Structure formats: C-alpha cells, structure tokens
Homo-oligomer: A and B are copies of this chain.
Amino acid sequence: MASIELDAIDKRILAILQENGRLSNQEIAERVNLSPSPCLRRIRRLEESGVIRTYVALLDAQKLGLDLLAYVNVRLEKRGPTASGRDGVTHAELFRAAVQTWPEVVACHAMTGDMDFLLRVQVEDMAHFSRFVQDQLLHHPSVIDVKSSFSLQTFKETTALPIPQA
C-alpha cells in the first residue's frame, strides 16, 4: 500500500476530480495549466495506480424517498456454533457476508469500543427501519444486541477526502 508519489499538479487534479468527476480532460488541463495530453496521462496514471478508485453519480436520498438515516451499533456472539454446518466459520464472517446482501446497509465497519460493528443504514421511514432490524438484524443468529441512533439533520456530507500536503 506504498503511497504513490504525487506532485502538486497531481494533487490539484485529484482535488478537482473529487469535486466534479465529469469535467472534460481539456477543462482540467486548462485549470492546472497543462495541455490535454500530459494531463490525461496523469489522470490515467492516477486511475491505474488506484488512487482514483472509481467515478460515480451521487443521488439525493430525500428525492428517492429515503428519509431515514440510522447508525446502528451491533454486538455479535463470539463463541459457540455458527449454525452454518461448517466448522471454522466465525460469527463475524457470517455477519459480514450477510451485510453484503443488505442494500440498505451502505457502510459497515468493525470498531473499537464495546460494540463490534457500526452500520450506516439508509431507509424510507421508521416502518422500514423497524422491519430491517426485526427481520434481518435481530433475525441473524450471530447478532446479540443492537443500538440505533438516528440522524436528525445532516450538516456536512462529502466524499472529498482531505489530501495531505506532504
């Protein structure tokens, strides 16, 4: 995971692209005072090295009717049989596999502290959330306990990472 060498121009390109991923190469070249070809070569290099992971469209959750954002702390069983039939499969592995199949879970981290996982869950309303917790989360054999908090208002929400100066 050795950090790729990035000069000042690379960083400006990254800063531009994480604000607007649809700018044409020409436009970007102009903004960083380069002609189109070296600019494109730099962008391709950033893509191939994986510094740029992907390009996406960001949708408006409210306009899609997704009015409820919850953060859910989950505690898991640590020992005992996993009911998977197979040995050597941990509860954590089972749970992580389940998470991948739940589209309403948009993020899942293993965390420090007394809860094991933190989930970010995006749903239409409290009825949907309640159903998700009952039918999916608590229904999962590895889950011991869940604690939910709800977003009242979002004041900042960006995919733009702070690019280190050094």
Residues of A within 8 A of B (CB): 1, 3-4, 14, 17-22, 49-66, 69, 71, 96, 99-100, 103-113, 118, 122-124, 149-164, 166
Q: Is B112's CB under 8 angstroms from A152's CB?
A: yes
Q: Is B63's CB under 8 angstroms from A58's CB?
A: no
Q: Is B109's CB under 8 angstroms from A18's CB?
A: no
Q: Is B1's CB under 8 angstroms from A63's CB?
A: yes
Copies of this chain, count: 2
- A50 proximity list for chain B (CB < 8 A): 60, 63
Q: Is B64's CB under 8 angstroms from A49's CB?
A: no
Whose C-beta in chain B lies nearest to the C-beta of A4? B63
Q: Is A3's CB under 8 angstroms from B65's CB?
A: yes
Q: Is B4's CB under 8 angstroms from A150's CB?
A: no
- A109 proximity list for chain B (CB < 8 A): 69, 151-155
Of the candidates B58, B122, B124, B150, the one whose C-beta lies within 8 Å of that of A54 is B58
